Chain A
Amino acid sequence: MSRPFDHVEGSGPPERPGPGINQPALGVTGYLRFFWRQLTSMRTAILLLLLLAVAAVPGSMWPQRSSDPNGVIQFFDKNPTLAPVLDRLQLFDVYTSVWFSAIYILLFISLIGCVLPRTLHHLKALRAKPPRTPARLERLAAFASKELDAGDTVADAAGAIQAARAQLRSGGYRVALYESGKNLSVSAERGYLRETGNLVFHTALIGILFAVGLGGGFGYTGQKIIIEGQSFVNIKGAYDSFTPGRFFTDAALQPYRLTLDDFSVKYEEQSIQAYGQPIDYTAKVTTWLPGQKGIDSTIKVNEPLALGGSELYLLGNGYAPTITVRDGKGNIAYTASVPFLPQDANLTSTGVVRVPDALPEQLAFRGFFYPTAGELSTGALTSIHPDLRNPVLTLFAYKGDLGLDNGIPQNVYALDPTDLTQIAGGDSGTPALELRPGQTVELPDDLGSVTFDSASPPTAAADDWSQSVPRYISLDVHRDPAQLWVLLFACLATAGLLTSLFVPRRRVWVKAIEGEDGSLRLEYAGLARGEDPGLDAAVAAIAERHTEGLKA
């Protein structure tokens, strides 16, 4: 249905029938029409908007799978009875839930049902002439009049109206001349841009919804941990985790290779309050596209690297101590840099090493890494600075069947020691292994030895630990082909919003009435369509300028 844009909802006659009036039966189409009218009414739109605001609240109260999956797992652990109930109500997936979707889909249907007819109405209005001059201008909200005696003026009624027409026209008004009896008048309207902006704003919102909904389906996100010196090739299997969109195909992954040459962190040294706070992360990488030479680039926080149609973000980092394990027979059973997960701001980190190739028995280690170890009053170690100043690695050692052959997937960052025998640390009777970079310790029972390899260059001083342990970065790789569309629609929406709120739409009439004695009575009136605080001033200014121009 079409409404003028300045129509105030519910201003018609009361809809409720009086007592004793039989309403005609509506029938199916009647009811459909009724519901459509209800849905596209402004009242419903307001209710849906408020409902949407309320429905968005729970998503900030409980962790969401989309933004905080670990939080959801923790919540399940802490509240085993409440969590499944909340889960049934989709309170961990609020923004994809049935009820949230229902609200915004209804809102957008209501929006489309409102925008379409108004667009048609507006297109008609853009072609139509300004409306006929009302008979009694003095009844309008803004009104001014001037009497000019015959001697004062150089113009007759026709001349005055022509002057008014030219003046209004140059002021951006669309004009039309009307004549009724002896009265000549010009009718003018301006500010069509207000409704245009309004329609652009609402259409752009629909555009954003579609761009987000459809475009997101063609993209993907992936995470990859890269240790200094190591490489990453953009294929699905190389990611540590990978979330494809609904319409993703492997063709969306453009081939490239990336090597992390160096990752450096700067820490605050001046301010006592912020001592040790990181103030800069810089990852130096070399990238190769097929058939091209390598290019040196940097990735920083807030400065992603655009590569192969995707963006690469530096989102996390940590230490990856290089650990070598020799088994009971003296053979190297394991050697690798193992990413340890940071647990606090000073990068106390935990990690797990599994050595399935050790003989005679498989070995496993649970480790703590302290980049700058300090002792708590309890005697336990903790890290007191995130940089490498006093690096210490402690390991709990286990032997036994690691269960890797039974096909059950295991978390690489966690070790379940239930079926293993602890041989160092805890209650095993042997203290936990404690190593500094370059040191080796023997395992009990002749099971072998563990070495914490130092990555320091041979030229480094003996007490300079700054390069002794490699760092790793955690890269997030995103591809979202719709993002430019979303940005475009967002800009359109802002432009539409600005014009629809601040361009005044008004009608102005100027009427000239010629007296018998040649005197001239000029009437000016204005009518606001929508919010227009400046109407009175505008009409007064028009009247002032027009009469000045007519004076002899």
Chain B
Amino acid sequence: MTETFDSFALVAIYSAMGVYLIAFVFFTLDLAKRSADAHAHAAAPVSVGQNAAAASRGTIATLEREAPASSAAPPRRIERAALALTALAWVLHVAGAVLRGLADGHVPWSNMFEFSLVSSAIAVGVFLFLQFWQDLRFLGTYISGFALIVLGVGTVNFYVPVTPLPPALQSYWLIIHVFVATLGTAFFAVGAGLSIVQLLQARREADRVSRLRFLGTMPKAEKLENLAYRVIVVGFVFWTFTLIAGSIWAFHAWGRYWGWDTKEVWTFIIWVLFAGYIHARATRGWRGSRSAWLAIVGFGAVAFNYTIVNLFFKGLHVYSGL
């Protein structure tokens, strides 16, 4: 039974990867189309750049219109198709995770393969559900690419067959601590994507020239910064909880709540980096691009913690199963 579920899980995961790949291509095609649209709009009497310039020269009371180009643009069929494909891939992806969990007989996040599977599923899920709140479809290329890479590395490099849970992981804290960590990771991933677009956008706004013309169809740097902040703050709360839940579990399992184990060190580093990010948002000179860099470095540390620290650093969190 276990083997059947596991092979079904793999079928679902490979199918999800195939659909993600098509969605990725569609999102990229859409970016290309956005470039063309933006070009057409630049020829219009009031371009985005001029509008912004007028705003900065005018009085304080001038109201800025938000992303006029995107609302005026014709509906993008390719993008809609790409989003629908992403949703389909996500359903397959989640099905894969559920089947793996059934094969395991426990939560499917007890080794690196399973963690890759679930964290990428949650990242895509967060991306999809954030669409109800804000139009973030312009991140589609980033998110579908991210899911593809994580799933690819997960299945090729991290795959391990179903094994029973070792005594060290037999705790309900596995369910809480690791799941909240995947949630935090997902929000940080989306936040980092927004920060990357923000940096590109800020550069374009400063120079008024950029070869990435599709940026003209995306929100302004300041708006992106606000969006990134709100997403990352949620991730930060989850990360704080991960840290505390991890401490409580460490207390039950290892007899101390904090022992500077390599994984604890990196969880702490990530927490401190994002704490710095939140403070940077309230400090002139650190707002804008600098805080965006912090968000990206922070997510880089998350990725480092997950890959390099898990595989090459010695510590107590040896659960990669490799």
Give chain A's interface residues, CB within 8 Å of chain B.
Answer: 6, 8-11, 42-43, 45-46, 49-50, 52-53, 56-57, 59-61, 63-64, 66-68, 71, 94-95, 138-139, 212, 221, 268, 271, 273-274, 277-281, 300-304, 311, 313, 315, 476, 478, 480, 483, 486-487, 490-491, 493-494, 497-498, 501, 530-531, 533
Contact = CB atoms under 8 A, between A and B. Distances in A.
Contacts of B259: 66-67
A212 to B, nearest CB: 7
B266 interface: yes
Nearest to B275: A49
B272 A60 contact: no
A46 B272 contact: no
Given A9-B284, A302-B253, A46 B279 contact: yes
Nearest to B248: A487
Contacts of B248: 487
Given A10-B283, A304-B252, A50 B61 contact: no
Given A10-B283, A280-B167, A311-B255, A271 B162 contact: yes
Interface in B240-289: 240-241, 244, 247-248, 251-262, 265-266, 268-269, 272-273, 275-276, 279-287
Contacts, number: 153
Which secondary structure dominates where chain A touches chain B? mixed
Contacts of A10: 283-285
21 contacts: A6-B282, A8-B282, A8-B283, A43-B283, A43-B285, A53-B269, A56-B272, A59-B265, A60-B265, A60-B315, A61-B313, A138-B61, A271-B2, A277-B164, A278-B166, A279-B167, A280-B167, A302-B173, A303-B252, A490-B244, A533-B230
A336 to B, nearest CB: 28
Contacts of B171: 302
Contacts of A483: 251, 257
Contacts of B241: 494
A42 B283 contact: yes
A6 B282 CA distance: 8
A66 B260 contact: yes
B226 interface: yes
Contacts of B244: 490-491, 494
Interface of B: 2, 60-61, 160-168, 170-171, 173, 226, 229-230, 233, 236-237, 240-241, 244, 247-248, 251-262, 265-266, 268-269, 272-273, 275-276, 279-287, 294, 301, 309, 313-316
Given A476-B255, A531-B226, 17 more contacts: A9-B283, A11-B284, A42-B283, A50-B294, A57-B265, A67-B261, A271-B2, A273-B162, A274-B164, A277-B163, A277-B164, A281-B167, A301-B253, A302-B167, A313-B254, A490-B247, A501-B237
B102 to A, nearest CB: 15
Contacts of B282: 6, 8-9, 42, 530
Nearest to B233: A501
B298 to A, nearest CB: 9
A92 B47 CA distance: 59
Nearest to B168: A301
